[in-house]
Amino acid sequence: MTNAPNGDILTVEGLKTYFPVRRGLLALRKRFVRAVDGVGLRVARGRTLGLVGESGSGKTTVGRTLLRLVEPTAGRVTFDGRDVLAMSTGELRWLRRRMQVIFQDPYGSLNPRMTVGDIIAEPLRVHGIVPRRQRRQRVAELLERVGLAASYADRYPHEFSGGQRQRVGIARALAPEPEFIVCDEPVSALDVSIQAQILNLLSDLQDELGLSYLFIAHNLAVVEHFADDVAVMYLGRIIESAPRDRLYDRPRHPYTEALLSAVPTTDPDRRAERIPLPGEMPSPLAPPSGCPFHPRCPLTRRLAADLPADETETVGGDGEPIRVVARCTREAPHLRPVDGDAEHVHACLLRYDDPEG
């Protein structure tokens, strides 16, 4: 990723978040849902990292783990030079002011029994940011900052539309004056016309306040518009990551290729044939061996067709049996640079050595 002159505000290394599941008679067997399974990320100061993936890929859990809303199993998160996962209660108060979150569901993220003014004032009250008498004034400023009338402060969330509620959520996130905001699918639940307004608002705020974003989304068109760098997640792992243009122009991982082929585009040069992805994402309770993508990977199927039988393997329990390259089921892939480009990394075993394969 681009080394911005002022460095990274957030770095994540080897982050793992497992959720225990008890199953079976007497719940004796304890298994783990590997929601996040070794994720590394870097967010440069003042920039936006887009984190994309299907539902169930673990991207939301990454965001919640960074915020310490969910306890991680392993890994290292550094925010502004401080170790987030080792923070004491006092340090967490510091973190809560600097790292904020915007949620996907504009209906679930606002307490229906509180006025909009009280919702936005909550961070001010908890952290004692402005004196009590100036709170209303500050709330009015925040409402106007996100494009709402200051007079809305006494209304309840149900009186607002989805887009307006999302603006209220943004105002609440801005109230403690954070430097970094986790945007957890902030526009996925909105109408397309409203999506653009909210994205423009987020973008203006970034320019004015120098905010850094982790922008979690499943819509690649939105991410292309909004993010500076993009990381693609599959089954709890990052499988490709690059500055936006390089990823969109030259995706290296077959999963990224398939995702991008599904994005509607107006650029005739980039319009490729749509690559269908068979099957569904496997259960993170029992991820496939080797490369987690091999049961659905179009590339390994294509290559396996031309390989001798001893270099392939037949997989597929419940569906049709398929032939895949044996290496994909045995070797766990790691992120490697593309053509010596340290900022563009991917985790496809079949394309480590053969860049055009």
Query: In angstroms, how far is CA 172 from the centroid of its own chain?
Result: 21
CB of 349 to other proteins, least distance (A): 37
Cα–Cα separations (whole angstroms), residue 161 to 106, 141, 219: 9, 20, 22
Q: Of 64 and 252, which has the nearer Cβ to other proteins?
A: 64
From the list 282, 309, 306, 283, the residue with the least C-alpha distance to 295 is 282
Q: Of 2 and 111, which has the nearer Cβ to other proteins?
A: 111
DSSP 309: G
Report H helices in 28-161. Answer: 59-66, 89-98, 116-127, 135-145
Q: Of 21 and 92, which has the nearer Cβ to other proteins?
A: 92
Q: Of 184 and 229, which has the nearer Cβ to other proteins?
A: 184
CB of 67 to other proteins, least distance (A): 5
Cα–Cα separations (whole angstroms), residue 218 to 60, 229, 287, 346: 11, 15, 21, 19
Q: Which residues contact 248 (CB under 8 A, 6 or more apart)?
A: 224, 230, 260
**β-strands 48-52, 212-217 pairing:** parallel
CB of 199 to other proteins, least distance (A): 20
CB of 281 to other proteins, least distance (A): 22
From the list 113, 213, 200, the residue with the least C-alpha distance to 173 is 213
CB of 104 to other proteins, least distance (A): 8
CB of 314 to other proteins, least distance (A): 41
Q: Of 174 and 281, which has the nearer Cβ to other proteins?
A: 174
Q: Of 186 and 333, which has the nearer Cβ to other proteins?
A: 186
Question: Which residues are at the interface with other proteins (CB under 8 A)?
Answer: 64, 67, 69, 92-93, 96-97, 99-101, 103-105, 108-114, 122-123, 126-127, 169, 172, 176
Q: Of 21 and 126, which has the nearer Cβ to other proteins?
A: 126
Q: Is the dihedral of CA 186, 188, 190, 196 positive or negative?
A: positive
Q: Which residues contact 10 (CB under 8 A, 6 or more apart)?
A: 41, 42, 43, 66, 77, 78, 79, 80, 180, 212, 214
CB of 114 to other proteins, least distance (A): 7
